[in-house]
Structure 1
């Protein structure tokens, strides 16, 4: 679920960034960039969690 949410956040951020760029709204552009970074971090955290769960499963065997 976290990975999907992270991707959605990245898309939302990219959209805001592009709209800010087209309308010359630096504030919106920066907010969009921040949302993209947040989305990437969320996606990375989900990936790390999945890897850790995989390691935990291997140790149980």
Structure 2
């Protein structure tokens, strides 16, 4: 199924800031993934932590 331009279906923006095109991928330590998935809103919390991490180490 193809979508016409300016269609009303599909994914909506998430949060206040737009998401990047390329995902970040890493291998967690054993057991971390299962525990991480139990944290509510973990993806947004991780994005916030990445902002803090970059700010502290890249200035």
Q: TM-score, normalised by structure 1?
A: 0.31
Larger helix proportion of the pair: 1
